[in-house]
Amino acid sequence: MAYWLMKSEPDVYGIDHLAAEPDGVEHWDGIRNYQVRNLFRDQFQPGDLAFFYHSNTKVPGIVGVMEVVSGAYPDHTAFDPDEKYYDPKSDPDNPRWLMVDVRYVRHLDRLISLAELKADPALADMRLVQRGNRLSVMPVTEAQWQHILEMEKQDDPSNR
């Protein structure tokens, strides 16, 4: 099993949207970055777990957990001119962009903010907190995953 962090803007598609989907399952579409496309294609597997991260919001951070429930397959939004993520250069016979399906597992007991993640020395190597990392999907090590789940049980240091 692998671990991931996947970012989305909560006003566009947040964890509450995923939780409200039938069976809590939805496709993760709109990826238009080759590195992320390659992660989907080469590394994502059903059964992998991912943190749901709310980005571009007042307090960005990890808000929940989801499970990858499909392998990568063509992102149909790339072929539809009426879709936000339409790509006229993507060909259904040789698709450029991929997506995976994810299933809602749970909300975290509390938001773990980006500031809290950055302040934790145990997470200094996490790609999310490294300067210049703008990817919307990134790997998380098992040690980082477990550490973040332990952080969930602790009080938010900004409330002290």
Contact 155, 14 (CB under 8 A): no
Task: Determine the Cα–Cα distance for residues 129 and 5; give it in Å rounded to an integer.
Answer: 12
Contacts of 95 (CB under 8 A, 6+ apart): 74, 75, 78, 79
State percent of the chain over pLDDT 90.
91
Residue range 17-22: average pLDDT? 97
Name 98's Cβ contacts closer than 8 Å, sequence gap at least 6: 31, 37, 40, 41, 72, 73, 74, 75
> Residue 75 above 90 pLDDT?
yes
Render the burial of 96-134: b for 16+ CB within 10 Å, e for the rest.
Answer: ebbbbbbbbeeebebbbbbebbeebeebeebebbeeeee
Residue 132's pLDDT is 86
All structural domains of the chain: 3-134 (3.10.590.10)
Question: Strand, coil or helix: what is 62?
Answer: strand
Task: State the pTM of this model.
Answer: 0.94
Q: Is the pLDDT of residue 22 over 70?
A: yes
